[in-house]
Amino acid sequence: MGIYDLCKPILSIEERSHRWLKYHLLHAHSVEFYCKDSKMKIIDVSNPLRVNRLPDNSVILLSQGNYSEHGFKIKKVELRLYLEKTDEKLGPFSLITSFVETDKGTIEMIYEEGYIGLNPLEKIKEFLILNLGISGIILRSIISLESYQKSS
């Protein structure tokens, strides 16, 4: 299933193609499309096909849904791990994204990628919790969501 298959019942092929083309021309590295209730779903990854599947692992950093930032109600903050390949000497190549769900839409962005070693999600989760990094992820996501909202 492709990323545009998620919106088939809501948007026609022409509408999806026009929105994708318009957005792709404005932001050559991102893809944006709309689903139910005009909520944004943004995948801010250089090649969205890299995250066009279920993650190999994930960890939820925040899920209470009672935090607000710049007029956005934050419902969930999650780190997602996508294993892409394995090198005999270096180990697994990991793509770690941050996924933030708000009342106005969702955004998934690259947090880290490379040969990070084993159990990278637990290491990054611990680092973020100890260094107030969750608020940085939220603020970065909100800024991107606001930017995408203004340009659409």
Closest CA to 46 of 25, 22, 30: 30
What is residue 113's predicted lDDT score, i.e. its pLDDT?
94
What is residue 151's predicted lDDT score, i.e. its pLDDT?
77
What is residue 1's predicted lDDT score, i.e. its pLDDT?
37
Q: Which residue numbers in the chain have pLDDT < 50?
A: 1-36
What is residue 83's predicted lDDT score, i.e. its pLDDT?
95
What is residue 99's predicted lDDT score, i.e. its pLDDT?
95
What is residue 37's predicted lDDT score, i.e. its pLDDT?
52
What is residue 57's predicted lDDT score, i.e. its pLDDT?
96
What is residue 152's predicted lDDT score, i.e. its pLDDT?
66
- Strand ranges, E, within the chain: 31-34, 40-44, 57-62, 67-69, 72-87, 91-102, 105-114
82 vs 92: CA distance, rounded Å? 10
Domain coordinates in residue numbering, the chain: 3-151
Q: Mean pLDDT of all residues in the chain?
A: 78
